Structure 1
Amino acid sequence: MQSKSYSARTLDAKALKSFAHPLRLRIYELLDEHGPSTATKLAALLGQNTGATSYHLRELAGHGMIEVVPGMGRGKEKYWRITPGGFSYGDPPSDPEAAGAMEFLLDDLVRQRGAELARWREEEGRAPEEWVRASGYGRRSLRLTPEESAALRDEVFEVLERYRALSDRRETESPDSRDPSMGRVVIHFDVLPVGAGQRPTEEGTP
């Protein structure tokens, strides 16, 4: 069953191949974590020269991943932000090079999730009490059909979409102001049919 997209756009083969670049992924992560930034500031964080970060920012912008923030910056200075609406990788592409890029991006996604979970476990003891109470870990193991699994996935994504739209409105309406009561909240959600790719044993038991 094809997944329903809850993002503003699905990356095409060219975008997948362009995004599957370590420095571009890191730039995207920094914009996601810290908000709008310039090529100069990103260069300092990454230990790169401004020319390199400018080039990679233009590549990301060319595929709609990021955009210039209207009204921010002086003169020719540009502040970049993640394009509101998000994106999805879509179904595996037929182009072998694009398929390889998607594999690279999915592996990096797994790495990023692990790093974020480890970071929160390390920071949790020092975090404000209200954020600790608002956080949560969750895992369930259920007996479901593929159709039920897809329905569950879609219902959860519909809830996430409402909050994503709320967050995007705040980013577009006041990109240069940060409410101290708000934080960057990461939600991890996966539906994984564990063992579905295993070959049955001789006895027929998965």
Structure 2
Amino acid sequence: MAQHDHHTDDDVRVLDPRSLRGLAHPLRMRLLDALREYGPATASQLAGRLGESSGATSYHLRQLAAYGFVTDDPERGKGRERWWKAAQRRTRVGTDELLRHPDPSVRGAMNTLLHEWATVHGQELSTWLGTLHEWPEQWRESSDMSDFTLRLTPALAREMLEKVHEVIKGYREQEVDRDTEHSARYRVHLHGFPRDED
């Protein structure tokens, strides 16, 4: 079910029960996301970006390293401070298998991961709405906040989601350089789920 996004399929971390437990902590997830989005950084820089203490970011970066999510950045780690970078650009989760896992700690970690992603999505959307007026009209017209209700079977729902993922993948292959005029990081959140009739 869940794919936490970014870049090519050969740079993907597929979560298993052990690595899931290593990642399923709100600060670790935010640290990994920050390294993936903004590039290599020190614990102090990440602490400033995330509003945390450098002691907390240092500890959780070491935990992420122990599980293989982050690694030293040898190109920058010449001074006293240790630089970190994301080891992969994307995370893939076999949600159903992990939600039905016999170990309750694995199921709990999966719930933590999913709820934290949902929280981040909500925060990002709220930030966009709060800063909407600061963006040029062409960006306001190129944003969307829609919802749709359809009556589908599981097979049709899966087919639809796969087609949407293919469309997004096609645009990932057309990504422009950071210095391209009028370009910006563009976030797409995709939520699809069944609802009870009541």
One of 20, 24, 31 as aligned partner of 1:27: 31
CA deviation after TM superposition for structure 1 residue 77, in Å:
4.6
Answering whether residue 105 of structure 2 is matched by residue 97 of structure 1, we say yes
Structure 1, unaligned runs of 5 or more? 171-177, 199-205
Q: Which stretch has the larger CA shift, 17-26 or 96-105?
A: 17-26
Q: Which residue of 2 aligns with 1:193?
A: 194
Distance 1:62 1:159 in 2: 35
Distance 1:96 1:145 in 2: 30
Alignment of 1:52-131 (within 5 A): 52-69=56-73, 71-75=75-79, 77-90=81-94, 91=96, 92=99, 93-131=101-139
Between Structure 1 and Structure 2, whose CA radius of gyration is higher?
A: 1
- State the aligned residue count: 186
Distance 1:166 1:70 in 2: 30
Question: 1:9/1:23 Cα in 2 relative to 1: closer, same or farther (>3 Å)?
Answer: closer
Structure 2, unaligned runs of 5 or more? none
CA deviation after TM superposition for structure 1 residue 140, in Å:
1.7
Question: 1:66/1:130 Cα in 2 relative to 1: closer, same or farther (>3 Å)?
Answer: farther
Identity %: 35
CA deviation after TM superposition for structure 1 residue 138, in Å:
2.5
- Tell me, yes or no, if the aligned pair for 1:20 and 1:102 is still in contact at 8 Å: yes
CA deviation after TM superposition for structure 1 residue 78, in Å:
4.3
Q: Which stretch has the larger CA shift, 97-106 or 151-160?
A: 151-160
Distance 2:114 2:70 in 1: 19
One of 153, 157, 165 as aligned partner of 2:161: 153
Q: Which stretch has the larger CA shift, 103-112 or 17-26?
A: 17-26
Question: 1:47/1:165 Cα in 2 relative to 1: closer, same or farther (>3 Å)?
Answer: same
- Tell me, yes or no, if the aligned pair for 1:32 and 1:82 is still in contact at 8 Å: yes
Query: For the aligned residues, what is the CA RMSD?
Result: 2.9
Answering whether residue 53 of structure 2 is matched by residue 48 of structure 1, we say yes
Distance 2:71 2:148 in 1: 38
Alignment of 1:4-15 (within 5 A): 8-15=12-19
Q: Which residue of 2 aligns with 1:134?
A: 142
- TM-score where L is the length of structure 1: 0.74
Letter in 1 for 2:108: G
Distance 2:168 2:37 in 1: 18
- Tell me, yes or no, if the aligned pair for 1:85 and 1:164 is still in contact at 8 Å: no
Say which SS state the counterpart of residue 80 (structure 1) adopts: strand
Say which SS state the counterpart of residue 135 (structure 1) adopts: coil
Question: 1:74/1:134 Cα in 2 relative to 1: closer, same or farther (>3 Å)?
Answer: farther
Distance 2:77 2:112 in 1: 34
CA deviation after TM superposition for structure 1 residue 164, in Å:
4.2
CA deviation after TM superposition for structure 1 residue 150, in Å:
0.5
Structure 1 residues 142-165: Cα deviation after superposition (integer angstroms, max 9, x where no partner): 121111110111111123234446
- Tell me, yes or no, if the aligned pair for 1:13 and 1:95 is still in contact at 8 Å: no
- Tell me, yes or no, if the aligned pair for 2:41 and 2:83 is still in contact at 8 Å: yes
